[in-house]
Amino acid sequence: MGTYEIPRNVKGESRILFIFTTKSLIYTVVGAGIGLLLRYTIFFMLDTIPGLIVVAVPALIGFIIGTLKMPELGKFEFAKKTGGENIDDIILRAIKFKTKGKKIYVYKEGKNNG
């Protein structure tokens, strides 16, 4: 008799501590690193609780960038075009747009026009 694998739902198995995906954990750690850098260079005079806030805010921003998607809002043209995409992909595309002289190249798939 042969053995067969039974398919199962593996959607949440790549999560760390139930809320972090690998990408969101990396963004959170980078944000916390930036917060620690700020804490010990610029805000070194702050006590314990304000110092933790200086570290936690960039970490939270990193978590949000790594986890959430852009909402689909009908009122704003920007949100219509980017609705449903990851926020980090949108930020990366905006940085590339600014650095390449504000040019976008669009490639159509299908038949050539010539």
The single-letter code of the amino acid at 79 is A
Helix runs in 4-104, H state only: 22-41, 48-67, 77-82, 87-99
47-105 tens-digit pLDDT = 788 888 889 999 999 999 988 888 877 777 777 777 788 888 888 888 888 887 776 66
First to last CA, the chain: 59
33 pLDDT more than 90:
yes
| Residue 95 domain-assigned (yes or no) | yes
Question: Residue 99's pLDDT is what?
Answer: 85
User: In this model, does residue 13 exceed pLDDT 80?
Assistant: no
| Domain assignment of residue 87, yes or no | yes
- Number of domains observed in the structure of the chain: 1
Q: What is the pLDDT of residue 14?
A: 66
d(CA 73, CA 69): 12
Residue numbers of the domain that contains 59: 14-70+82-99
- Give domain status of residue 110, yes or no: no
63 domain residue, yes or no: yes
What pLDDT is recorded for position 26? 92
Residues 103 and 93 sit within 8 Å (Cβ to Cβ) = no
What mean pLDDT is predicted for residues 35-42? 88
| pLDDT value, residue 74 | 75
Q: Is residue 9 in a domain?
A: no
What pLDDT does residue 113 have?
Answer: 52
Residue 30 resides in a domain? yes
Note the pLDDT of residue 84: 80
Whether residue 7 is contained in a domain is answered as no
Residues whose CB falls within 8 Å of the CB of residue 34, separated by 6 or more in sequence, listed in order: 58, 62
Q: Is residue 28 part of a domain?
A: yes
The residue among 15 and 35 whose pLDDT is bigger is 35
